Structure 1
Amino acid sequence: MPPLTLAHQHLPGVTVLAVTGEMDATNRAQLEGYLRDVRREPPQRLVFDLSQVPFMDSSGLHVLLTCTTDCLKKGGAVHLAAVQPLPARLFEITGVLSHVPVHGTVEDAVTAALTSSERSI
């Protein structure tokens, strides 16, 4: 399994987080630590670029949902972009799609994050 690679880009009003590799129990702490380090105050909108995430288990899902809940409580929002088939199936089964906006491309997610109002989880 390739290691999890994380990168981010702060844009005006939104941070894009690019995730590469499988999101699972083996790298949950790495992802949580990275999110703590890159999130800005005041709360802003986050876009997760999941185009290079072929697999996600419940641990990865938990990190995304915890981040989403925290962002919403602080007035921010989370959007997901370019979700691959297996993670998309996990989102469908768990009902995440009704609580976290998912977009086909990073560009669509950034636009939506900057123009839409927050949703509650």
Structure 2
Amino acid sequence: MRTTVIRTEDIAASYDVVNGWTVLEVDGEVDIHTRSRIREAVLELLGEGHRHFVLDLCFVPFLDSTGLGTVVAVTKDIRGHEGSLRIACPSARMFRVFEHGGLAEAYEFYDSPQEATRQPPSPDGLARWPRPHG
């Protein structure tokens, strides 16, 4: 059953749990105007015990560098809870934002949420994520 976690005139987000993954479907632009709501939703879900996420971007027409920063911030939050993150449906333009930000290799990208959830989460879900120095 899909549960809505964000609904404003700028953005909506809902989630469902599939095969151990919390699929967070975002509908709207991911930018400076929506970044805090997306992060708050992820933090709330982490607080409820969700650990393994698929960020479903199928209904996101635009993601800019601020949106990329939001993805990085939620990745750090998820990693801090020993979770994992996959990204579904990045458009070619969106994927270029990840490439230009130097993060295309750090994430697992899937063509659909169904493909992303086919296999259950594994302990090395963010294995390619850069490790902190020190």
| TM-score category, normalised to shorter length | 0.7 to 0.9
Structure 2 gaps, min length 5: 1-8
- How far does the alpha carbon of each residue in 1:24-57 deviate from its partner, in whole angstroms, 9 at most, with x for none? 0011121122222222555621001101111111
Q: Distance in 2 between matches of 1:100 and 1:81?
A: 10
Cα gap change, 1:95/1:112 in structure 2, threshold over 3 Å: closer, same or farther?
farther
Distance (Å, rounded) in 2 between the aligned partners of 1:30 and 1:43: 17
The reply on whether 1:5 has 2:20 as its aligned counterpart is no
Q: The residue matched to 2:24 in structure 1 has which SS?
A: strand
Q: TM-score, normalised by structure 1?
A: 0.85
Report the counterpart of residue 53 of structure 1 in structure 2: 60
- How many residues align? The count is 120
Q: Secondary structure at the match of 1:96?
A: coil
TM-score, with normalisation over the residues of structure 2? 0.78
Identity %: 24
Unaligned runs of 5+ in 1: none
Greater Cα radius of gyration, structure 1 or 2:
2
Equivalent residue for 1:63? 70
Partner of 1:105: 112
Structure 1 counterpart SS, 2:104: helix
Note the C-alpha offset of 1:111.
2.4
Whichever structure has more helix as a proportion of its residues is 1
**CA RMSD across the alignment:** 2.0
